[in-house]
A and B are shown apart, each in its own frame.
Chain A
Amino acid sequence: MSDVDVDSDAQAMLKVAAGDRRAFAWLFDRYHGSVARFALRFVGDRERAEELTQDIFVKLYRNAKAYKPTARFKTFLFRVATNHCLNEVRRGEYRVTHTSSETPEGEETGTVEMAGPEGDRPDQALAGRELERAVGAALADMSDRERAAFTMCRFEGMAYRDIAEALDASEAAVKSLIHRATLAVARRIEELRAGTAPARSRA
């Protein structure tokens, strides 16, 4: 994202703080997808992710005055998003419902159902669903902070420094969270590749 975009975000947010609804709608259109993806990966359920996304944007609007243009807007937004999701899960409002490895094959779980890779070959689509399931199982087993850090890094492409700001953690802590999370996903994928055989022990 260019500096101009970053500056536009900050300007828009200052307008939101002054009660400008059009500026809010503009920011919403720009970041809705990012927040929704984050929420979905965080709770693993489309309907709950939808509720969380709505709450996060309402919270953003209500707390717009807390924003200072010295902070990158996307980081500020993800701080709001992360805090909200972590608090809701902690309060027991939401349970992380990613497909677990124990879910019997083919059973409907009501969990993340992405449109699979739309290849003509069924084996390709199956590989996509299996990959989704493996990643979902790893996400479900992670700590909340690992899942949040992993999601911001892998699905939003955020830099460690920005993730650290969003999570109110040190960069060293974020590096460790992302490493553990990525290793967990890597092992699930390795299991998937090896069929039902347990992953080879390593590290």
Chain B
Amino acid sequence: MSCGFEEDLTAYVDGELPPVRRAEVEAHLGTCGGCHATHALLRDAVARVAELPAFEPSPATRRAVLAKLDALPEPWWARLRALLRPAVLVPSAGLVAAVAVALVVVGSGSEAPPELADPAVMELAANLELAEDYELLGLDSAEDLEVVANLHELEVLQ
């Protein structure tokens, strides 16, 4: 049967109709045998479903989920935040400079003066960031230089 009210009967049982429509359905139920029977059927079904026993989920899920979170890669924003720490950023700027120097060296190819192939010079280029750290921080005492050179160790200890 389709009398225009049938579609609203479940919402009526659930108390989900606005007051005006609810009153209309109520009045209709007194006059329509089909809707009256369907309403009784729906009301009974809702009550029976509510009687079904509750499902108790496995307590092992909590452990499994937390283990999965531990295995997740760090999100990009956390990685970015880590990279933006001064202790990382400053040496990184030096590294970029070192890479730039290395690129110039490679890029200049055969025209490079022979002394740039010297291993000692290459070593200096690779460690430019340290030299830059000293300059940026305006340090001059041997003790301060020692601290800067071992910044990464301090970080690990924290």
Give A contacts to B, CB under 8 Å.
19, 21, 24-25, 28-29, 32-33, 36-37, 40, 50, 53-54, 57-58, 61-62, 114-117, 128, 131-132, 135, 153-155, 159-160, 175-176, 178-179, 182-183, 185-187, 189-190, 202-203
Contacts and interface: CB of A to CB of B under 8 A. Distances in A.
Contact of B57 (A25, A37, A176): A37
24 contacts: A19-B78, A28-B65, A32-B61, A33-B55, A40-B55, A50-B57, A57-B65, A61-B69, A114-B55, A117-B53, A128-B53, A131-B51, A135-B52, A153-B14, A154-B49, A175-B8, A178-B11, A178-B14, A179-B10, A182-B10, A183-B10, A183-B38, A190-B41, A203-B34
Given A183-B38, A202-B1, 4 more contacts: A115-B53, A116-B53, A128-B52, A128-B53
A202 B64 CA distance: 48
B84 interface: no
Nearest to B47: A189
A182 B58 contact: no
Candidate in B9, B11, B54 with the most chain A CB atoms within 10 angstroms: B11
B6 interface: yes
Given A19-B78, A24-B69, A202 B38 contact: yes
B48 interface: yes
A44 to B, nearest CB: 11
Interface string B10-44: 11011010000000000000000010011001101
Contacts of A117: 51, 53
Contact of B61 (A50, A128, A160): A50
Given A116-B53, A160-B14, A179-B11, A54 B64 contact: yes
Interface of B: 1-2, 6-11, 13-14, 16, 34, 37-38, 41-42, 44-46, 48-58, 61-62, 64-66, 68-69, 72, 75, 78
* Majority secondary structure of chain B interface residues (helix, strand, loop or mixed): helix
Contacts of A54: 61, 64-65, 68
Contacts of B1: 202-203
Contacts of B16: 159-160, 175
A128 B57 CA distance: 19
Contacts of A61: 69, 72
B138 to A, nearest CB: 35
B52 A183 contact: no
Contacts of A182: 10, 13, 42, 45-46
Contact of A202 (B7, B34, B50): B34
Given A24-B69, A58-B68, A36 B57 contact: yes
